Amino acid sequence: MVDRRQDSSSVPGSPSFYATTPIYYVNAKPHLGHAYTTIVGDALCRWHRLLGDDVHFLTGTDEHGLKIQQAADAAGMPPQQFADSIAPLFADAWERLDIRYDDFIRTTEDRHRRGVQKLLQACYDNGDIEVDTYRGLYCVPCEAYYVEDDLENGNCPIHKKPVDHVEEENYFFRLSRYGDRLLQWYADHPGAIVPDYRMNEVIGFIKQGLLDFSISRTSFSWGIPLPWDDKHITYVWFDALSNYITALGYGDPESQDPESLFHRRWPVNYHLIGKDIVRFHCVYWPAMLMSAGIEPPAGWAVGGWLLVGGEKMSKTTGNVVNPLDLVDENNPEGVGVDGFRYYVLAETPYGADGDFTYEGLVGRYNADLANNLGNLLSRVATVVGKKCDGVGPKPSPDSPLTAAAKNAVEETISRWADVQPSRALEATWQLIRATNAYLETNEPWKAEPGPAVDTVMGDALEALRIVAILASPAIPRTAQAVWERIGMVEGGQARVDDRRVPVDVAWGQYPGGVNVVKGDPLFPRRNIS
């Protein structure tokens, strides 16, 4: 596995921004659902790097539990070997989707085991973990218990298959003691969950009354033993959720040091999660942390599902979309990494469910990338080539585009602050549309070379410079390509993602006097095949 750990946390005085994806269960290869949350997290972190924050982005894999033990048995492998065969597929997928993470945690690592046991012991010592008999309805593929009301015709609502009746002695976490404390905490932190309607669901759930939940099993062995009773294996939630702190070194003695990663990074700014795991992340997890004397997360950003044909994608229903097929350069039906990233970020407001279709993917690609951004760059480079000897002129300080640029910048900043990438991109694209309209009004391609054409082209180049910065979190390769073609490297700024918002997106910084390169179309139009 490629080790991309690069805690870039040595930026003195910069605010820390720590974000996480869920850790992905290694019983399946990376699919669209995994890619969706991870791309949103990556783009959000890239945005915060532009803001000058000291960013730490964590992802990883969840490798314990009955389901993995069963899958390993079926494959005729020890479970560790099975996990070792799947985990790199996630790291490779993130590499190919340009996910820039700082750490990748695997729950089979020692640092994780140490941290899980420390967290369990802290809750146990606080009297919140006690032994009891569990009787319940259990779905093995979900690794989750259900109550009658959750079931559909007696079946798991996700897998549409019968659940098992299970009775065993378990340790329980006394979640029922935390209802009032959680409600008080949420009342004190009103913006903690975005979008806000997801917050309302969480509050409603807590108000219904919380049940203790089981935290151990004796029915399988593939996992982390409880530190005080090693017949019991830690059940999924303590094992999985604690990755967010174990990756920061919570299990190590030096985690109390104010200079430690844990001390500097916790609480997390955002856990990016899908709506199906809200209850565990927004109710169980903060209660577990409170019990251990650790501050709850500062924020959660809850996404909906990208449905395929109206259904949640799953191995069982067979409607799995492999994102790597769609970004494969050799696939004539592919749209490239940035075409795919742009689609998943722009198509669906974060929080709502979206419906993934190939027609939608190609439609977005053609409309926003080929026709709007690609066309703007191409016509600017063509006109500069023909009318300005290929040298980009300076923008005008009082261009009619200044207002559109200012609005785009302000709106993009505010939408990213709400974790709404689709709206942030919509705001950025308003500047692209305004610039295309400005060119159509002025028709520089019809005019004689001279100061009037120079002014229009300088303004358009400045708009492209601003767009490249604002769009770089979503489409990093394309943004860099635009940056290079408009001559910014020659202008002394090698990397678009080294720029800062808002200082570098203020109007008027295109240097002029640099070579503009036309090149091949960034986004050749695609036909629906």
Catalytic residues: 31, 34, 139, 142, 156, 159, 312, 315
Three-point CA angle 96, 98, 103, nearest 5°? 100
Task: Report the nearest approach of Zn ion to the CB of residue 300 (Å).
Answer: 23
DSSP 8-state assignment for residue 76 = T
Cβ neighbours of 190 (radius 10 Å)? 9
Which 292-321 residues touch Zn ion, going by CB under 5 A?
none
Is the dihedral angle over the CA atoms 279, 282, 288, 291 positive or is it negative? Answer: negative
Which listed range, 60-68, 132-140, 317-325, 466-474, lies at the site for Zn ion (CB under 5 A)? 132-140
Closer Cβ to Zn ion, 156 or 362, answer by number: 156
Closer Cβ to Zn ion, 149 or 329, answer by number: 149
Specify the DSSP element, H or E, that contains 193. strand 193-194
Closer Cβ to Zn ion, 9 or 316, answer by number: 316
Contacts with Zn ion by CB under 5 A: the residue count is 6
- The phi, psi pair for 494, rounded to 5°, reads -70, -45
Which 136-165 residues touch Zn ion, going by CB under 5 A?
139, 141-142, 156, 158-159
Closer Cβ to Zn ion, 92 or 150, answer by number: 150
Closer Cβ to Zn ion, 120 or 144, answer by number: 144
Task: Report the nearest approach of Zn ion to the CB of residue 163 (Å).
Answer: 7
Closer Cβ to Zn ion, 300 or 305, answer by number: 305
Task: Report the nearest approach of Zn ion to the CB of residue 158 (Å).
Answer: 4
Closer Cβ to Zn ion, 160 or 500, answer by number: 160
Task: Report the nearest approach of Zn ion to the CB of residue 157 (Å).
Answer: 7
Task: Report the nearest approach of Zn ion to the CB of residue 38 (Å).
Answer: 23
For position 96 contacting Zn ion by CB under 5 A, the verdict is: no
> Residue 470 and residue 428: Cα distance in Å, rounded?
7
Cβ neighbours of 480 (radius 10 Å)? 18
CB 442 within 8 Å of CB 380: no
Task: Report the nearest approach of Zn ion to the CB of residue 236 (Å).
Answer: 13
Is the dihedral angle over the CA atoms 150, 151, 156, 160 positive or is it negative? Answer: negative
> Residue 479 and residue 304: Cα distance in Å, rounded?
27
> Residue 513 and residue 527: Cα distance in Å, rounded?
38
Q: Give the C-alpha distances (Å, rounded to integers) separating 235 from 119, 219, 239.
A: 13, 10, 6
Tell me whether strands 300-303 and 306-308 are parallel, antiparallel or unpaired.
unpaired
Task: Report the nearest approach of Zn ion to the CB of residue 143 (Å).
Answer: 8
Please report the DSSP string for 130-188 in residue order.
EEEEEEEEEETTTTEEE-GGG-BTTB-TTT-SBPEEEEEEEEEE-GGGGHHHHHHHHHH
> Which residues on neighbouring strands pair with residue 216, listed in sequence order?
234
* Residue ranges in contact with Zn ion by CB under 5 A: 139, 141-142, 156, 158-159
